[in-house]
Every structure is written in structure tokens, then in C-alpha cells.
């Protein structure tokens, strides 16, 4: 399998009270913060699995963060420090608000192209939901986006109240029924991870498909010659994440496609 060259960056942000968070970035999620070859930090990440209360057997088995943990340990170590800092923040409502303001101010000044929550990790608890809402509120000019398997409808619903925050529900064969229910009730996008090529029959126009590594055509001269791709319908092909399937580049990264970065139209969801 072809290895895609990904550049990782990380910087520290003082959020007050002696607390520091680390903002990371990589070639795929640059949006318009830097370029594919020279990305700028625009994400807050956490350790994988241990901070993912909605993790499934399929996603844990195929999690891409294992590779990041092994190949870029200096960045992954910052994810672990972020988790420790967030748990301290969650102990106090005053800290919840004051750190959100400081963090939102930094994001407003440095991430004008957009900010992603959790390249690794997920929303851990209700305090975490609240903190993300506060940051979005204090940075109204920034477009935020996230993917979550924390399928608590009461936690997710407040996130959908912010015009500058796009929620994507992450699903696979293990949690699809529940994920579909939550996505439909909240009128948000569903992003489906295909572990071994399987796809639900009832995917809709706004959904996105993320193929597992074994399903991608990056090792072929023409990725579209991959057997999995050739077996898809035209409608299914239109849903596949181009950066994941075709290999990342300035054209194939979060930004040019933009689908996960904008809200789906309600009439498409219905």
C-alpha cells in the first residue's frame, strides 16, 4: 500500500490559569490554514480510544491513529497532555468559561480557514460538550467542524444550535442503526466508515463514505481500477471521501471538497 506523505505541525496555546493546550494540524485538514505541504495548526486532538466513549470494535481495529502514535510520537504525546488539561478545566465552571474565551480568541486570530475538533479522540462527557459550545460561541467568525461517535442526542443537540459549528455523526456496521437515528433526528450529516467494503442500503445524498485502507486505490496507477471502487454505484462513488480514496494532495484534502465542513440541506436529508 502506498504511504501518503503527511506533514504534521503542533503549537502550544496558553488558555490561562497556568494551563496549556496543544493545537495540531496536518496536510489533510489544512482547509485554507496553510497548504498541503506547509499546513498550519488548526485542530485540538486527544488520545484515541480512551477518550472515545462511542468507540466500536470496527473503528478500534482500524483506527488510523495507531500509525500516528507510532510514527509521530512527539505529536501524539501532546494529545495525551491535552486530555489531562481538559479534565482540569472540567472541574470548574469558571475555568470552563475562561479557558474557552482564551482558546476562542487564539483560534479567531490563527485559524481563519476553519478549526477541526479531534483529529484523534472524541467528546468525553457533558462538560466537554459544553466547552466546545462555549468556544464556538466566543469565536463566531470561525467555522468549526467535528466527527463524533458519542451518540448522546442530548449532548449533541446544543452543538447543532451554532451556525458556525458543523456536526458529523461517525458510523460503521457496529453502530449504524443508532447513528442513523441520531443523524436523522438532528438533521446532521452521517459519515460511514466501511471496514471491509460493506455499505448500508439506505445511505442518503448528504452522507459521506470513508473507506478502510484496504479499500483505497492509492497503490494503483489508476485508483478507480480498484475492485471495490468498480463495484460501487454512481451515487455511492459520489459519497466517497476523495482525500481518503485517491490520496492526499493540495486538491484532495479537507477544503476543496468541503462536504463535511458545511451543513447538509434539510430537504436532502428528508
90-128 pLDDT, tens digit each: 999 999 999 999 999 999 999 999 999 999 999 999 999
Measured torsion, CA atoms of residues 170, 145, 40, 70, in degrees rounded to the nearest 10: -20
* pLDDT in the model for residue 266: 62
Q: Is residue 152 part of a domain?
A: yes
Q: What angle do CA 85, 175, 258 make, to 5 degrees?
A: 70
Q: Is residue 166 part of a domain?
A: yes
Q: How many domains does the chain have?
A: 1
Q: Is residue 183 part of a domain?
A: yes
Q: Is residue 200 part of a domain?
A: yes
CA separation for the pair 190, 183 (Å, rounded): 6
146: β partners: 117, 167
Task: Provide mean pLDDT across the span 23-30.
Answer: 93
Q: Is residue 175 part of a domain?
A: yes
> Which long-range contacts link 184-193 to residues 24+ away (Cβ below 8 Å)?
184/269, 185/153, 186/153, 186/156, 186/157, 186/160, 187/160, 187/264, 187/266, 187/269, 188/156, 188/160, 188/263, 188/264, 189/259, 189/260, 189/263, 189/264, 191/147, 191/260, 193/58, 193/59, 193/62
Q: Is residue 3 part of a domain?
A: no
Q: Which residues contact 186 (CB under 8 A, 6 or more apart)?
A: 153, 156, 157, 160, 167
CB atoms within 10 A of CB 153: 11
14: β partners: 20
125-184 pLDDT, tens digit each: 999 999 999 999 999 999 999 999 999 999 999 999 999 999 999 999 999 999 999 999
Q: Give residue 155's domain range.
A: 8-269
Task: Provide mean pLDDT across the span 222-234.
Answer: 95
| % of the chain at pLDDT higher than 90 | 85
Q: Which residues contact 100 (CB under 8 A, 6 or more apart)?
A: 131, 134, 135, 137, 138
CB atoms within 10 A of CB 220: 12
Question: Which of 30-34, 42-46, 96-100, 150-154 has the least mean pLDDT?
Answer: 30-34
Task: Provide mean pLDDT across the span 44-72.
Answer: 95
* pLDDT in the model for residue 2: 41
Instruction: Find the length of the chain.
Output: 270
* pLDDT in the model for residue 3: 46
Q: Is residue 1 part of a domain?
A: no
pTM here? 0.94
Q: Is residue 2 part of a domain?
A: no
Amino acid at each position: 500500500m502506498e504511504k501518503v506523505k503527511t506533514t504534521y505541525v503542533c503549537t502550544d496555546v496558553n488558555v490561562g490559569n497556568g494551563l496549556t493546550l496543544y493545537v495540531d494540524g496536518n496536510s489533510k485538514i489544512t482547509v485554507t490554514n496553510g497548504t498541503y505541504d506547509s499546513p498550519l495548526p488548526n485542530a485540538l486532538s486527544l488520545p484515541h480510544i480512551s477518550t472515545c466513549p462511542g468507540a466500536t470494535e470496527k473503528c478500534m481495529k482500524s483506527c488510523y491513529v495507531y500509525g500516528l502514535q507510532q510514527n509521530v510520537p512527539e505529536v501524539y504525546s501532546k494529545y495525551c497532555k491535552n486530555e489531562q488539561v481538559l479534565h482540569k478545566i472540567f472541574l470548574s465552571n469558571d475555568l470552563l468559561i475562561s479557558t474557552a474565551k482564551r482558546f476562542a480568541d487564539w483560534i479567531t486570530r490563527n485559524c481563519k480557514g476553519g478549526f477541526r475538533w479531534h483529529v484523534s479522540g472524541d467528546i468525553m462527557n457533558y462538560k466537554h460538550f459544553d466547552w466546545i459550545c462555549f468556544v464556538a460561541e466566543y469565536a463566531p467568525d470561525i467555522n468549526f467542524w467535528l466527527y463524533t461517535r458519542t451518540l448522546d442526542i442530548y449532548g449533541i443537540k446544543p452543538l447543532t444550535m451554532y451556525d458556525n459549528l458543523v456536526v458529523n455523526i461517525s458510523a460503521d456496521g457496529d453502530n449504524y442503526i443508532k447513528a442513523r437515528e441520531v443523524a436523522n433526528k438532528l438533521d446532521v450529516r452521517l459519515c460511514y466508515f466501511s471496514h471491509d467494503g460493506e455499505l448500508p442500503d439506505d445511505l442518503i445524498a448528504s452522507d459521506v463514505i470513508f473507506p478502510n485502507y484496504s479499500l483505497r486505490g492509492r497503490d494503483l496507477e489508476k485508483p478507480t481500477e480498484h475492485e471495490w471502487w468498480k463495484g460501487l454505484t454512481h451515487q455511492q462513488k459520489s459519497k466517497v471521501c476523495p482525500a481518503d480514496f485517491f490520496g492526499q494532495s493540495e486538491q484532495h484534502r479537507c477544503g476543496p471538497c468541503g462536504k463535511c465542513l458545511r451543513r447538509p440541506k434539510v430537504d436532502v436529508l428528508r
